[in-house]
Structure 1
């Protein structure tokens, strides 16, 4: 894939336009500057890149963990050497700031690679398991490569969204085919080239990692192709479509479908710290994060003070093009997202929410900017408490009791992350235990993702399956049970021919193993011995008759 800029192609022209229906226009969200144009792949092209990836995986799947660690170390070195360039590419294609790119794109990828280097082999080493009552056998679990893993990436973090699913899949011995979001097509090739260069330098086939460029139909073609698993990050609506398409070939899927994370601020919280973390959770990457703090519940006794301190902070935020000036917030990546934010704010206003600041597009900064916003006195009758907003809007609600805070936090179809702020550890733990979510962080925001030993994923409308940690790495594998001899007895279970004593024998064997007392087990063992003798005699007579 190469991005070109043919003359006369207007940026933002409809994807369905007959003259350019397979072209993807690329532009900078912050400035509107044309970056070029890419050709969307059809199903034939998608199948071909999957074929290339599978051919390359045959050799990669046989590499040692030592070689995979060495590859990861070299890849990490390459990322560190290219850090500023990676951030600049992400800024140009997604509209975020350089700091957002460093924190959200590069930092978690580096930490994931570090985790794999230090822990990946241990996580995938064959694991001995109990063989139960079959003491003459050994049992273990092995983790084998799946083959070709498909990754369908959203547009909010163009480097991170390719690399964070890709590197564990590679470490597990797989090939990876990544379909990138059409809104961040321009950055995909130079970012993927980093991995291809390292593979080639180490003598491996760079075709091991592949890109799919296109719209929804290209993603559907990838899901329906000869891949062995699909990792999808995106909206619940598209997640349903991915599941439906994957069901044709019974291809397993992991769905990370976004969130609407609650942040609960108790009246005994460190308020300055809570406000600072709320700022981070709301305004990082202009709120375009699945783990964004989209619902902030503040206890009545500190509600007004929280709002006062938050407003003072938000009033100082600067917004604009991050490559042209020093700013705190950048642009929205997807133009349609601004329409969604307009609709949600209008609905909240109409139902009684107060707009303390912002609440509208920032036309002075450019066409794809939405002003940093605080909505106060929000309630659950407003759409913005139930629908993912993906924008720079701090949504603040009041609660009286801990029980009410939990009820409100759980009154939402999403269940990805959550955070609790309280100086009382026992109180914070009680609230955390009651919140329905895949992750909870106490007295901080978002750190569960940076602790790579922890699984990442949600419940409900936030999807299912896990990435990160041992669970996420093993999700890239065929988990295989293996049974071998501890002591070779020279025989096994023999059932045929079935005779009158066969069922009583089996019944008493079961009682011998599972009866509740030693006495009951002993009586059953005696009956087992008698029935075993009866079965042996009956089979001997059966064989004589057969002659």
Structure 2
């Protein structure tokens, strides 16, 4: 009876072990030991020792490690998908396309492009023509990754791949809700490191609750945090004690804007995917579907027909369902409350709106709410659940106003038959990412693009050149091009120091030819005066 209660209420934060269960069946997966503060310090110390060697590794060796990881993923993708389905409750198809595919693409991109963005970069030396200037990218040291439960495999790969290639070590603290699969996945990294002759302590994992994460933040040289705004604030507070850099990838409330001239089928299926994939448990989920009044009824009818045909069941139960279970009973309860509160505020329930398969696991029916307005709870708070929220707009300006009416700004989508119109709307929506006539979250699959948000959706970037370089110290170096017998000197002053400098600045920077000529004349006069005095 106690085990069954734990499966429903979740892991006990006061325990020294994490009880792990399948959200789709509540079957026992096992237990994982909680790491203490001292355990975390010891893990970070081992990582730091391994990184002191790894920071001198060649780009070829770093590529080899990533290629080993890729080979393992491809050879064992079925096993990975099954572990994800068991621990997170999602379908095997979602595990394959939402976890394995982006992990493979991230590795491919990094292997191909990583060295180009991390090798020394020559830049202009400005007016110091006798010098060469360059930027060097040096690893930060040990990067801590605090990652959530919605994508247990992909969320581990997101910080590990770029951090490792940049010459860092990584210590991950996954959510306690996916402790079981995370413990299995870290072995992939260790096998890949061994095969490349690199120390396995470069990638480690610590398990536990808030105290474990807090200890990690206070021990490492940089943090990648993916999760809620509330916990993100606590991470920032802890990081401020040692003044270490943090990347915050927080919540979202993405707007999905459908204009009346859009291809309605294209927009519909993108909205369905953006809303119900992984039971809506995506930071870049399409949480607000804004549809032009002229096509609103048609869009609602088509969406209802599609959603009512969905199959929902245990993803490993023999069928091929469209949706599985939600990952945590806590999140299920939050979704249920948001839906009920919004209905009470005037939203119209079209379909769903209730728990299902309650005797099996944590399931919430695919839901559609219509006639929602921006003041309702479900238009302002992150849902993180399988709820398609329909809201009318009558003009592009109104769509932009609604889209910008939340404290979040992660991603958005704009669908229109006019490229110019779609881009005009997209430029005015406050977000870190956007897709035109495509699901907003697809920017993640484009390796050269940075991933991250604005406002309360966070700061800093993961992915692409910017994400890779954020895991390094950028070191400015001024080197010799031509050796001169003197260095740039400002002391000691002489009677003409100020006048000479003023004339030189006017000569170089004045925009008018007359002012430049005047500055040059003054320089020549001051030089003649100096020659007479000597």
For structure 1, the residue ranges without an aligned partner over 5 or more in a row are: 1-5, 541-547
The residue aligned with 2:48 is 54
How far is the alpha carbon of 1:71 from its aligned partner?
1.9
CA distance in structure 1 between the partners assigned to 2:225 and 2:126 by the alignment: 38
307-316 or 510-519, which deviates more: 510-519
How far is the alpha carbon of 1:114 from its aligned partner?
0.4
How far is the alpha carbon of 1:247 from its aligned partner?
0.3
**Is residue 106 of structure 1 aligned with residue 100 of structure 2?**
yes
The residue aligned with 1:64 is 58
**Is residue 264 of structure 1 aligned with residue 257 of structure 2?**
yes
134-143 or 109-118, which deviates more: 134-143
**Is residue 179 of structure 1 aligned with residue 193 of structure 2?**
no
Alpha carbons of structure 1 residues 344 and 11: separation in structure 2 relative to 1, 3 Å: closer
Alpha carbons of structure 1 residues 274 and 140: separation in structure 2 relative to 1, 3 Å: same
Q: 1:320 aligns with which of 309, 313, 326?
A: 313
The residue aligned with 1:284 is 277
Instruction: Find runs of 4+ consecutive structure 1 residues off by over 4 angstroms.
Output: 6-17, 532-538
The residue aligned with 1:306 is 299
CA distance in structure 2 between the partners assigned to 1:530 and 1:441 by the alignment: 61
The residue aligned with 2:223 is 230
Q: 2:512 aligns with which of 506, 513, 517?
A: 517
In the superposition, the TM-score normalised over structure 1's length comes to 0.94
CA distance in structure 1 between the partners assigned to 2:279 and 2:475 by the alignment: 43
**Is residue 344 of structure 1 aligned with residue 338 of structure 2?**
yes
How far is the alpha carbon of 1:21 from its aligned partner?
2.3
How far is the alpha carbon of 1:132 from its aligned partner?
1.3
For the Cα contact (< 8 Å) 2:147–2:227, is it kept in 1? yes
CA distance in structure 1 between the partners assigned to 2:454 and 2:475 by the alignment: 26
For the Cα contact (< 8 Å) 1:15–1:22, is it kept in 2? no
CA distance in structure 2 between the partners assigned to 1:476 and 1:537 by the alignment: 57
Q: How does 1:95-494 map to 2 (within 5 A)?
A: 95-225=89-219, 227-324=220-317, 325-364=319-358, 366-445=360-439, 446-494=441-489
CA distance in structure 1 between the partners assigned to 2:302 and 2:200 by the alignment: 52
For the Cα contact (< 8 Å) 1:320–1:366, is it kept in 2? no
For the Cα contact (< 8 Å) 1:258–1:290, is it kept in 2? yes
Q: Deviations over 1:182-209 (max 9, x none)?
A: 1000011211100100111121111110
For the Cα contact (< 8 Å) 2:8–2:329, is it kept in 1? no
For the Cα contact (< 8 Å) 1:12–1:25, is it kept in 2? no
Alpha carbons of structure 1 residues 59 and 344: separation in structure 2 relative to 1, 3 Å: same
Alpha carbons of structure 1 residues 46 and 12: separation in structure 2 relative to 1, 3 Å: farther
CA distance in structure 2 between the partners assigned to 1:302 and 1:468 by the alignment: 36
CA distance in structure 2 between the partners assigned to 1:536 and 1:463 by the alignment: 61
The residue aligned with 1:87 is 81
For the Cα contact (< 8 Å) 1:27–1:35, is it kept in 2? yes
Alpha carbons of structure 1 residues 47 and 536: separation in structure 2 relative to 1, 3 Å: farther
CA distance in structure 2 between the partners assigned to 1:47 and 1:13 by the alignment: 30
How far is the alpha carbon of 1:342 from its aligned partner?
1.6
How far is the alpha carbon of 1:535 from its aligned partner?
6.8
The residue aligned with 1:543 is none
For the Cα contact (< 8 Å) 1:415–1:459, is it kept in 2? yes
For structure 2, the residue ranges without an aligned partner over 5 or more in a row are: none
How far is the alpha carbon of 1:142 from its aligned partner?
1.4
**Is residue 528 of structure 1 aligned with residue 499 of structure 2?**
no
CA distance in structure 2 between the partners assigned to 1:501 and 1:282 by the alignment: 71
437-446 or 390-399, which deviates more: 437-446
Q: Deviations over 1:302-351 (max 9, x none)?
A: 10000000000000111111011321111111211111112111111111
Alpha carbons of structure 1 residues 363 and 451: separation in structure 2 relative to 1, 3 Å: same
How far is the alpha carbon of 1:499 from its aligned partner?
3.2
Two-structure CA RMSD over aligned residues (Å): 1.8
Alpha carbons of structure 1 residues 532 and 242: separation in structure 2 relative to 1, 3 Å: farther
For the Cα contact (< 8 Å) 2:370–2:391, is it kept in 1? yes
| Aligned positions, number | 531
Alpha carbons of structure 1 residues 24 and 364: separation in structure 2 relative to 1, 3 Å: closer
CA distance in structure 2 between the partners assigned to 1:130 and 1:493 by the alignment: 17
The residue aligned with 1:77 is 71
CA distance in structure 2 between the partners assigned to 1:440 and 1:7 by the alignment: 44
Alpha carbons of structure 1 residues 13 and 263: separation in structure 2 relative to 1, 3 Å: closer
Q: How does 1:8-23 map to 2 (within 5 A)?
A: 10-11=6-7, 21-23=15-17
CA distance in structure 1 between the partners assigned to 2:288 and 2:10 by the alignment: 34
CA distance in structure 1 between the partners assigned to 2:531 and 2:87 by the alignment: 77
Alpha carbons of structure 1 residues 370 and 151: separation in structure 2 relative to 1, 3 Å: same
How far is the alpha carbon of 1:284 from its aligned partner?
0.5
How far is the alpha carbon of 1:537 from its aligned partner?
8.4
CA distance in structure 1 between the partners assigned to 2:238 and 2:55 by the alignment: 27
Alpha carbons of structure 1 residues 127 and 106: separation in structure 2 relative to 1, 3 Å: same
In the superposition, the TM-score normalised over structure 2's length comes to 0.96
How far is the alpha carbon of 1:438 from its aligned partner?
0.7
Q: Secondary structure at the match of 2:223?
A: strand
